[in-house]
């Protein structure tokens, strides 16, 4: 570990800081791009490779074995007097939470595309996530040296499939084996990439590319003029636009989210990284250029803002919690305003607790460097925050603010897990607590009916990694059951019911009566509780007990015991007894009332439906299509990409188990697919009966 306490590194002016994420579809080359950036900026002395398991950013054992990124790794580097905080994110959909929480705290993004495949399904997902957080981004079309690489096809796919405005600031000189460099349309120079590590030196544009370069530069000028007033004046009046003016105009349009500069290269061959680094500092915003962050005052609910300045009150968002085997519980956080020094007392405004800021660490993958303080615009980690979790806001005690929390998808797949020995039992409890803290999309619960611990996640790979980590990091040996779908229940109509819990048999009794109304909510709205009691029919102190009873009852639906979602419950009336009423009585009444209301509100079982994209050679198209239909799949789109047919479909998760093996079998291993959760839908009647039947078979377990 490097032990330093240099305050100069923490006092970099805001305008010379870039907080960026490297995001993309799986296998587009994100980690390879990041490893080259670290090498060329002097952070590493040797280039790490994903395939050989030496990538610095893929530091987990599971990442190195599988050649994929599982956890978002943060690092800090410098380029031309700029400090760049980089987060390398996973591409696999099971770990999309890492992308979600990283984008929440970043100011800009580099989206990596495969020059052969172009825009793939997960490319669309991460692009939408970036849109949600209004992240300015540039595109890097990677793998230009591969057979089938097509720069302009990839650009067109970005325009059509992502509904974006890509503006190439470079064009390639050659493709596939002939890829030798790029033409910089802004500087009007050619950059030839050699086999060495040195930066490419600008040279005159070769004669055979001059005509195309002029045409593409005019297109770039026109595209920027359409969204930038200053450039429009120069364009209309036919002024000569200098490279500096053009860069400033592209920067303004990029920061405003109006265009996306596009570059290209071949990261594995070390081609295109130097211009990409230049583009990051030239076109992506500094924390100073990002709009002031908004939040609410926890005392009165008023909306507040924090400017990204050091003289503002301190505010930061915790976006990741990691159980580090060496230093303990690490909390990653992004500072939006103010300055905090090591040992400072902070206020967790989300949970209403004071916390002491321990060691402040600048992270470099799994290595760390101590720093004295951290200021607005910076990203770091700290040790010692006991009560801070993902999405919590840390602020100045005197000026509290709660920033918008991060929203995470619900798990869609579950497995049972049982420790092999009594020692494993205790270790498993501790490990699950740590892993749930780390990963908001991972859930663990104890099933009273079966006596098993059930863990839930975003996919089979997600749970496989969790179990592997339990064995390696926490030394827990366990039996793992077969994967099961995380079904949900909901209602389809409104209803009203009474919940009555009355036990009066002499002496102090129990008395609680509630009248509840239920109605369905739109998809993904979760649960809402409303108190409509007028005139004191139920004393105010008993209302929270009713809500608690309702919430607990909704964890187990009435059809098959699955959690109930997308429901609004209103407490409209009730009765109480001045002596016999208690919180317990009203909690039980709430539970009984909601169960009765659910029966009357036409309950249904919902199943998760996955968005699947299959790329298959033409000769297997019919077989793949037939297999999708046999899995209750609905094809939504069929596209041609070179010699491949790309099928987009929606398939219920319950029908996708073993899909990888089947697809390999029917296509001789030549097809590939991606899968991500899309939505919940009502299960067909026949499936509903099967699920309910399985539930009835489990009933005798109850004691």
- Strand arrangement, sheet containing 181-184: 170-173, 181-184, 189-192, 202-203
- Structural domains of the chain, with CATH: 15-216+261-289 (3.40.50.300), 293-403 (2.40.30.10), 413-479 (3.30.70.870), 489-601 (3.30.230.10), 606-687 (3.30.70.240)
In the structure, what pLDDT confidence band is assigned to residue 702 with cuts at 50, 70 and 90?
A: very low
pTM of the predicted model as reported, rounded to 2 decimal places: 0.72
CB contact at 8 A, 148 and 114: no
CA 639, distance to chain mean position in Å, is 27
pLDDT (tens digit, 9 = 90+) per residue, 275-313? Answer: 999 999 999 999 888 888 888 988 888 888 998 888 899
User: For every residue of 169-201, which 3-state class applies, written as one string?
Assistant: CEEEECCHHHCCEEEECCCCEEEECCCCCCCCC
Q: List, as one string, the DSSP characters of 443-499.
A: EEEEETTTTEEEEEESSHHHHHHHHHHHHHHH---EEE---EE--EEEESS-EEEEE
Burial code (b: 16+ CB inside 10 Å, e: under 16) for 37-65 equals bbbbbebbeebbebeeeebbbbebebbbe
- How many C-beta atoms lie closer than 10 Å to residue 658's C-beta? 9
3-state secondary structure of 415: strand
For residue 59, the model assigns a pLDDT of 40
The whole-number average pLDDT for the span 533-540 is: 85
Q: Which of 178-192, 352-366, 622-636 shows the lowest per-residue confidence on average (mean pLDDT)?
A: 352-366
Cβ atoms of residues 418 and 405 within 8 Å: no
Q: Cα(324)–Cα(473) distance, rounded to whole angstroms? A: 10
Nearest CA to 531 out of 515, 518, 543 is that of: 543
Helix axis angle, 121-132 to 96-105, nearest 10°: 30
Structure tokens of 381?
């980690």
Closest-CA residue to 177 (of 141, 134, 130, 143):
143
Q: What is the pLDDT of residue 523?
A: 82
Tokens of 363: 């992270």
Among 523, 527, 521, residue whose Cα is nearest residue 494? 521
Task: Let me know the angle formed at the C-alpha of 410 by 400 and 518, rounded to the nearest 5 degrees.
Answer: 85
For residue 688, count other CB atoms closer than 10 A to its CB: 17
What is the chain's length?
703
pLDDT at 258 over 90: yes
Kindly state the DSSP code that residue 289 receives in the 8-state scheme.
Answer: G
Radius of gyration of the chain (CA): 28
Spatial distance between the Cα atoms of 23 and 135, rounded to a whole number of angstroms: 12
Percent of the chain with pLDDT over 90: 30
Please give the Cα distance from 98 to 529 (Å, whole number). 31
- Cα dihedral 680, 681, 686, 690, rounded to 10, equals 20
Of 40-49, 132-141, 331-340, 487-496, which gets the smallest average pLDDT? 40-49
pLDDT band at 54 (very low <50, low <70, confident <90, very high): very low
> For residues 616 and 647, is the Cβ–Cβ distance under 8 A?
yes
pLDDT tens-digit readout, 578-587: 888 889 999 9
């Amino acid at each position: 570990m490097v032990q330093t306490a240099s305050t100069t590194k923490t006092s970099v002016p805001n305008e010379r800081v870039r907080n960026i994420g490297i995001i993309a579809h799986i296998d587009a080359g994100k980690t390879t791009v990041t490893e080259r950036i670290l090498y060329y900026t002097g952070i590493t002395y040797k280039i790490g490779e994903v395939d050989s398991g030496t990538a610095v950013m893929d530091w987990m054992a599971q990442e190195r074995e599988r050649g994929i990124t599982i956890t978002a790794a943060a690092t800090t580097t410098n380029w031309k007097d700029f400090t760049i905080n980089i987060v390398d994110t996973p591409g696999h959909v099971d770990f999309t939470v890492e992308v979600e929480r990283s984008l929440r705290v970043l100011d800009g993004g580099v989206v990596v595309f495969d020059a052969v495949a172009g825009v793939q399904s997960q490319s669309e997902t991460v692009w939408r996530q970036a849109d949600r957080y209004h992240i300015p981004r540039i595109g890097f079309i990677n793998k230009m040296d591969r057979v089938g690489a097509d720069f302009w096809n990839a650009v067109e796919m970005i325009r059509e499939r992502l509904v974006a405005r890509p503006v190439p600031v470079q064009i390639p000189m050659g493709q596939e084996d002939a890829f030798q460099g790029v033409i910089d349309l802004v500087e009007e120079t050619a950059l030839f990439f050699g086999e060495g590590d040195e930066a490419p030196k600008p040279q005159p544009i070769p004669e055979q590319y001059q005509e195309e370069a002029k045409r593409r530069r005019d297109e770039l000028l026109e595209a920027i003029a359409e969204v930038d007033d200053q450039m429009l004046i120069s364009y209309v009046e036919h002024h000569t636009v200098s490279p500096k003016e053009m860069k400033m105009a592209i920067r303004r349009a990029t920061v405003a989210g109006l265009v996306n500069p596009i570059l290209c290269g071949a990261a594995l061959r070390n081609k295109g990284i130097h211009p990409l680094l230049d583009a990051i500092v030239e076109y992506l915003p500094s924390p100073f250029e990002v709009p002031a962050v908004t939040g609410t005052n926890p005392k009165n609910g008023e909306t507040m803002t924090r400017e990204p300045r050091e003289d503002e009150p301190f505010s930061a968002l915790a976006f990741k919690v990691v159980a580090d085997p060496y230093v303990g519980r690490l909390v990653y956080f992004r500072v939006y305003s103010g300055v905090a020094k090591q040992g400072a007392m902070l206020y967790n405004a989300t949970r209403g607790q004071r916390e002491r800021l321990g060691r402040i660490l600048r992270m470099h993958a799994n290595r760390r460097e101590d720093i004295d303080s951290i200021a607005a615009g910076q990203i770091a980690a700290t040790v010692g925050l006991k009560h801070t979790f993902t999405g919590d806001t840390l602020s100045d005690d005197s000026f509290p603010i709660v920033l918008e929390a991060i929203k995470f998808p619900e798990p869609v797949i579950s497995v049972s897990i049982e420790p092999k020995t009594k020692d494993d039992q205790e270790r498993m409890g501790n490990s699950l607590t740590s892993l749930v803290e780390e990963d908001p999309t991972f859930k663990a619960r104890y099933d009273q009916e079966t006596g098993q611990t059930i863990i839930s996640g975003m996919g089979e790979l997600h749970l496989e990694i969790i179990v592997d980590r339990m064995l390696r990091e926490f030394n827990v040996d366990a039996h793992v059951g077969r994967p099961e779908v995380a079904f949900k229940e909901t209602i389809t109509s409104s209803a009203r019911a009474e919940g009555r819990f009355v036990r009066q048999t002499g002496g102090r009794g129990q008395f609680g009566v509630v009248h509840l109304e239920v109605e369905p909510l739109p998809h993904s709205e979760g649960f809402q509780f409303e108190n409509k009691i007028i005139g004191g029919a139920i004393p105010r102190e008993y209302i929270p007990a009713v809500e608690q009873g309702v919430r607990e009852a909704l964890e187990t639906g009435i059809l098959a015991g699955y959690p109930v979602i997308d429901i609004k419950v209103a407490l409209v009336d009730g009765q109480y007894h001045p002596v016999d009423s208690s919180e317990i009585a009203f909690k039980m009444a709430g539970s009984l009332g909601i169960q009765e209301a659910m029966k009357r509100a036409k309950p249904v079982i919902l199943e998760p439906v996955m968005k699947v994209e299959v790329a298959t050679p033409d000769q297997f198209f019919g077989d793949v299509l037939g297999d999708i239909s046999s899995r209750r799949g609905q094809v939504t789109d069929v596209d041609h990409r070179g010699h491949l047919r790309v099928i987009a479909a929606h398939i219920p998760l319950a029908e996708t188990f073993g899909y990888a093996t089947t697809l390999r079998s029917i296509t001789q291993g030549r097809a590939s697919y991606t899968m991500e959760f899309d939505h919940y839908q009502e299960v067909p009647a026949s499936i509903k009966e099967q699920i309910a039947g399985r539930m009835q078979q489990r009933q005798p377990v109850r004691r």
